[in-house]
Amino acid sequence: MPVTLVKSTNVPSVVLGGTITYTIVITNSGPGGATNVVVTDPLTPGINFVAGSVTVDGTSQPSASILSGIPLGTIALGATQTITFQALVTSLPAPVINNTSSAAYVPEGGTETVTVLSNQLSIPAGLATVTVAKSASLPDLTVRDILTYTSVITTNGVDMLTNVSFTDLVPPGTSFVLGSVTVDGVVAPDANPGTGIPLSNIAAGASVSISFFVSIDSLPPSRNVTNTSSVSYMSGGISGTNLSAPVVRRVFVPIYTLVKTVNKTVTFVGDIITYSVVVTNNGNITANLSVVDPVQTGATFIPNTVTVNGTPVPGARPGLGISLGNFPIGVSAVIQYQVRVNTIPTPPFVMNTVTATYDTLLPSGRAISGSVPPSSASVFVVDPRISLQLEASAAAATGGETLVYTVTATNIGNANAQLTVTSSIPSGAQFVVNSVTVQGTAQPGINPEQGVDLGTISPGQSVSFSYQVIVSIPLSVPDLFNTATGAGLFEGIVPANVAPASLIVPIQLAQASLSTVASFVVPGDRVDFSLVIVNQSTVLDLDSVVSFVPLPPGLEFIPGSVTVNGITVPVINLEAGIPVGILASGAQIGVSFSVQVTGVEASEQPISASVQYSVNQQGLFTVQSNTLELIVVDILPQVTKQVDAAQISPGDIVSYVVQALVPSGEPLNAVLVDNVPAGLQYVPNSLLINGTPSEAQDLSGGVPLGLVSTLEPVTVFFRALVLNIPPQSISQPLQASNSALVSFSTGNNRVDILSPPALSVITTAAFRIIATPSPPLSEAGEIVTISISITAIGSQAAEGSLSGFTPAGFLLLNETITVNGQPAALVNQNIPLGVLNPGDVIQIQFNCFIPFDFIAATTTGSAILSFDYDLEGRIYHGMAAAPSYQIVVEEILE
């Protein structure tokens, strides 16, 4: 046969959706050429021609179709042509695709068409084989477990899997652990199986392993965790989805509940509370359970009160744990025990919380344990305290006086209280009917001895009621004593704890006042006391009046020192009493006595007097004086003052140092007062205390020094400026002397200590100079005599010299100079005068010649005294000048 067809394919088998490439080789073996060659292939059911897939000898024929025939024209003898085309597997009517092509042609020179067939191709066809094998890391589960799921995807088909996506929705009761995904062991941190994990293409025959973690969060309703993985893909152009077999794991959870209750909502100290705890196993496995219920602050456990389901459990203590053993599923147990309230905690609640722990084995043998959510109960602890305060309108009473008593009830507890208060009428007084008021509102018909209803008092609230009594006449008791008590309920159930109140109002006609001028003393000092006793009554005399003054150790009474109204009264000791006698109504009497200080143990000990008296020779009444204290020290505080210069002159600045010291006893507060002496002026802001500038700078007004003690003396430094001496006082030295005053105090006791004076003498050298000419009228060529008188009017000697004494234009005749009548010589144009003592008068005289050529009508003259003096090594310089004078020079007439 001259034309043959050989058909082949590129795959040994194919899957649904796969593509088959067919190749047909057409050969003309002769004996002649073949014309009008057309190759066709009807394709068997299940495969479809892929349009545009035809090539002829490698050249694409996009419009050609194998189904309608591919014309090849003439194939010469011995020539070959090759056709390729593709077919897509769209269904699988049979497990094998059989296919045969044919060619029709007309032999060269002939007229009939000849048809030849190719060989038949048989290609196995089927679905792509993809498997998903899923496994889990634990055989059984409990809450808080971490379970690893692993899915292995394997393809056994002939085509590569593309567009592969892995999806796995985690089951109820679990949650995906972020970042736990691995693909073939490589971590995929952002992957989440619930939203799909895209995978790379999987080659035929290859596998991919995907793992991820889930957390077991709760017991699912089915008690099982069931999970299936899903893989979607494309294979041979066809999409597919495969599921894994379900993986089922049982979840075992011992679910216990604790419900704690208490038998009351309000309690108080000493009360007994019963707690109940209901324990229920709502889980699906039994476990060994231990319940722990520690008793909290405010209460203590009562031993041997524990019961479980009504059965006593001797020795059990809830704070140490109560074991319920292997607690069955669906069963409840009731634990009860009692506590006693012993304190009021802050806040005022006995708070109590029960907890439990369990342990058991899973069916796989794995041990698990856990805790049970706690349950709490609280009881409000009432603080049922009420305080009562009883007050009177006067500190002391007299016969016939009306007293107003006020009772104040304050709720110092923590809850509302209903309260009734009773107050007694004191012996020696009568109740004033209808005088009761509550919070200022009259309560007629109420008697405080029968109780006053104050209603409900809130925490922190105070309610008062008042009533009146009249002090009986005649007086029958020395004082009025009454009480206030109360009763009530807090929150309607807890008895109120009412602290009673009492009050003593002395019946007093006398008043005693004790005084002394002493405050700080040393052993050996004598201290004088005065006691003034006043009868305050305007109608009653006081008789048998006696005063008593007990002395503390360290003070001794000086016999013979007692006077009553200035008259000496022989008294052996003050404790035995000083008889005063009768004190008429409205009168007062003075008692004086003296004591010797014998020791420092008397320091700060109370000293007071008591006065006893009768009224109409009936009763014995006592009144107490005020209380005094003495500060007794071995050595009194000391103050010294020093100045840095004993001799000073105007313009000097002197420095003062004041030191305050407490040689013995307790530290004392101190205030310095220092008036700068006349002739000096304080230098502002120069005051230092212990080297530190003081905020207070007013020495005359007082400068606080703080606490002064033996170990911490205080040193004060300040400066003063020496002022000019007034002319009327310049001839006498001025003594700048003063002392520093420091007031030491503690409490109400004070002592003023004056320092020895610090003395500086203010002196200065001063001179009065008078210069006179003779004659005052002259003419050229004449001699004029100048007389100068120098008087030392100051208080300080000085060394002086005179200059500037020659009248202008005149000629000094040196040989005429005399000082106090004695010739004197010039030294550097000056006349040395030596030391000029206070009161000295120096007379200086000399002549001057008026030159012939003197042309001025008048001339003036004066004299200047320069002087120096020394004070303690300090040199002072000064000058004094004479008032100027005039000399008239007349013209010489020819």
* Domain identity same for 884 and 817: yes
Residues 172 and 54 reside in one and the same domain? no
Backbone phi, then psi, for 778, in 5-degree steps?
-150, -170
Q: Based on the domain organization, do 670 and 583 belong to the same domain?
A: no
Residue 537 has pLDDT above 80, yes or no: no
pLDDT band at 767 (very low <50, low <70, confident <90, very high): very high
CATH number of the CATH domain containing 879? 2.60.40.1530
Sheet holding 266-268, edge to edge: 266-268, 367-382, 349-361, 287-292, 322-327
Exposure string over 691-700, b if 16+ CB within 10 A, otherwise e = eeebeeeebe
- Residue 142 — pLDDT band, cuts 50, 70, 90? very high
CATH number of 113's domain: 2.60.40.740
Report residue 90's pLDDT band, with 50, 70 and 90 as the boundaries: confident
Helix or strand run (H / E) with residue 380: strand 367-382
Cβ-based neighbour number of residue 567 at 10 Å: 7
Share of the chain above pLDDT 70, in %: 98
CA distance 349 to 266: 9
Cβ within 8 Å of residue 191, ≥6 positions away: 181, 183, 197, 212
Kindly report which listed range (104-113, 194-203, 422-431) carries the lowest average pLDDT score. Answer: 104-113
Which tokens in the block code for residue 559? Answer: 């016999």
Q: How far is Cα of residue 868 from the mean position of the Cα atoms in its chain?
A: 70
Question: Are 428 and 414 found together in one domain?
Answer: yes
233-237, 364-368, 695-699, 709-713: lowest mean pLDDT where? 233-237
Q: Residue 750 pLDDT more than 60?
A: yes
Distance CA 374, CA 387 (A): 40
- The mean pLDDT value for 397-421 works out to 90
Out of 347, 365, 382, pick the residue that ends a domain: 382
Please state, in angstroms and rounded to a whole number, the distance separating the CA atoms of residues 757 and 715. Answer: 16
DSSP per residue over 364-377, as a string?
Answer: TS-EEEEEEEEEEE
**Which residue(s) pair with 133 in the sheet?**
152
Phi, psi angles (nearest 5°) of residue 727: -55, -35
728, 762, 796: which is the final residue of a domain?
Answer: 762
Please tell me whether residues 207 and 269 are part of one structural domain: no
Q: What's the pLDDT score for residue 18?
A: 72
Q: According to the per-residue pLDDT averaged within each range, which of 158-162, 179-183, 620-624 is highest?
A: 179-183
Span of 57-66, 612-621, 790-799, 862-871 with lowest mean pLDDT: 612-621
- Give me the pLDDT at residue 250, please: 94
Half-sphere exposure of 129 (CA within 13 A, CB side): 9
The CA distance from 246 to 151, in Å, is: 11
How would you label 267-290 residue by residue, b for 16+ Cβ within 10 Å and e otherwise?
bbbebebebebebebebebbbbbb
Query: One-letter amino acid identity for 625?
Result: S
> Which among 78, 76, 70, 74 has a CA at the least distance from the CA of 105?
74
Nearest 10 degrees: Cα torsion 75, 77, 78, 80: 0
pLDDT number for residue 749: 86
- How does strand 520-521 pair with strand 631-632? parallel
| Three-state SS letters, 652-702 | CEEEEEEEEECCCCCCEEEEEECCCCCCEEECCCCCEECCEECCCCCCCCC
Average pLDDT on 446-465 reads: 95
* The predicted structure's pLDDT at residue 893: 59
Within 10 Å of residue 31's Cβ, how many Cβ atoms? 9
Q: pLDDT band for 432, please (50, 70, 90 cuts).
A: very high
Angle at the Cα of 282 from the Cα atoms of 277 and 285, rounded to 5 degrees: 115
Q: What's the mean pLDDT in 400-424?
A: 93
Count how many domains the chain has: 7
Residues 6+ apart with CB under 8 A from 274: 262, 263, 336, 337, 338
Question: Is 674 in contact with 757 (CB distance < 8 Å)?
Answer: no
pLDDT exceeds 70 at position 757:
yes
pLDDT over 60 (residue 877): yes
Confidence check: pLDDT of 894 > 60: no
- pLDDT the model gives residue 128: 62
Tokens of 783: 């001699």
Alpha carbon distance 60, 50 (integer Å):
13
- Are 19 and 117 found together in one domain? yes
Instruction: Give the other-Cβ count within 10 Å of 666's Cβ.
Output: 13
Does the pLDDT value for residue 399 go beyond 90? Answer: no
pLDDT (mean) for 614-637: 87
* CA 618 to each of CA 470, 475, 509, 536, 614: distance values in angstroms, whole numbers, following the listed order: 20, 8, 14, 18, 6
- Examine the pLDDT at 158 and tell me if it is beyond 70: no
772, 879: one domain: yes
For residue 796, what are its two tokens? 């300080």
**Backbone phi and psi for residue 407, each to the nearest 5 degrees, phi listed first:** -110, 125
DSSP assigned state of 771: E
| 21 vs 50: CA distance, rounded Å | 10
Looking at the chain, how many residues does it have?
894
d(CA 88, CA 414): 92
Instruction: Note if the bond before 727 is cis, omega within 30 degrees.
Output: no
Shared domain for 374 and 324, answered yes or no, is yes
775 preceded by a cis bond (ω within 30 of 0): yes
Contact 78, 30 (CB under 8 A): yes
Q: Are residues 501 and 524 in the same domain?
A: no
Give pLDDT, residue 127: 62
Asked whether residue 748 carries a pLDDT value surpassing 70, the answer given is yes
Residues 265 and 378 in one domain: yes
The torsion angles phi and psi of 601, rounded to 5 degrees, stand at -65, -15
pLDDT of residue 727: 87
Show the tokens assigned to 175: 């949650």
Distance between CA atoms of residues 767 and 836, nearest Å: 9
Q: What is the pLDDT of residue 289?
A: 92
DSSP secondary structure, 285-330, as one string: S-EEEEEE----TTEEE-TT--EETTEE-TT--TTT-EEEEEEPTT
Query: What integer pLDDT is reported at residue 126 of this predicted model?
Result: 64
In the DSSP assignment, the letter for residue 827 is B
CA distance 543 to 618: 9
Of the candidates 366, 413, 401, 381, which has an alpha carbon nearest to the alpha carbon of residue 473? 401
- Which of 506, 534, 559 finishes a domain? 506
User: Which CA distances in Å does 512 have to 473, 506, 533, 547?
Assistant: 23, 14, 5, 9
Does residue 113 sit in the same domain as residue 173?
A: no
More confident site: 400 or 374: 374
- At residue 878, the 3 state secondary structure works out as strand
Distance (Å, whole) CA 543 – CA 130: 131
What residues make up the domain containing 81?
A: 3-126
Beta bridge partners of 279: 258, 333
Confidence of residue 81 (pLDDT cuts 50, 70, 90): very high
Token representation of residue 473: 């006449």
> What pLDDT was estimated at residue 758?
95
Reported as a single tens digit per residue, the pLDDT across 826-839 is 999 999 999 999 99
Region of poorest pLDDT, from 172-176, 414-418, 820-824: 414-418
Q: Same domain, yes or no, for 669 and 628?
A: no
pLDDT band at 573 (very low <50, low <70, confident <90, very high): confident
Averaged confidence pLDDT in the chain: 91
Q: Tell me the CATH number at 498.
A: 2.60.40.1510
